[in-house]
Amino acid sequence: MKKWIAFIWLALAGGFLSACTMEDVGDVLEITEDVLTAIEKEQNSTPETEKAEEPLNESGSILKSKGTMEPIPADLVRPVDGDTAVFAFDADQDGKKEEFSARFLLIDTPETRHPQLGKQPLGEEAKERTAELLEDGEVTIEFDVGQRLDKYDRILVYVYVDGVSVQETLLEEGFARVAYVYPPNTRYLDEFEAKEAVAKQKERGVWAMDGYVTERGFNSE
């Protein structure tokens, strides 16, 4: 339609030129140029309703998004074990907090009530230390770049209290070992291994018992 308007205008202008003086011709050509410029601008403009929108997460859930993000404020519901707890946070970003069982990334602590392993040495102490840490300040959780849920639907997170890593504290004090290393959720692996090395060198906690820590866990025999 816009092209037809330009064509008709040019045809009329062309017929009119034959009956005009040179001064009139200049005026007509100037008007024609203005019309073509206006048509070009209109073709290149995008209506407000046609502008592309920013892609949104379909579900709006942090658990189904990808990549890293800033630590998320969370409420402690209850400690469960040395390396697990229940937190409440706004996973759907709708202003409502939900409860989630959480597994602490990259560490393993002795069990307190495992079906097969039972109660292991230092299991209760690790649980009590984790509870003490989590109840001592503001809790934040942080996801890594890989999967955010394990096969038990527990969130996989790094945990902080007043900005201090709970995982690093447990490792340095000898209540945990570095374990369950599944790339790409390995952002702080080097830091964790360094804290573990300190406890091992000083024979703290689980490292004070010869042969207790194994590659597969803790020796209950």
Give the active site residues.
Answer: 103, 111, 154
**Alpha carbon of 33 to those of 22, 26, 27, 36, 38: distances in Å?**
17, 11, 10, 5, 9
Helix axes 2-17, 22-44, angle to 10 degrees: 180
119 DSSP assignment: S
Q: What amino acid occupies position 64?
A: K
Q: Which two tokens stand for residue 89?
A: 């946070």
What are the angstrom distances between the C-alpha of 134 and each of 40, 62, 158? 64, 22, 12
Residue 184, token pair as written in the block: 């790409």
For Cα atoms 159, 64, 127, give the angle at the middle one, nearest 5 degrees: 25
187 vs 149: CA distance, rounded Å: 16
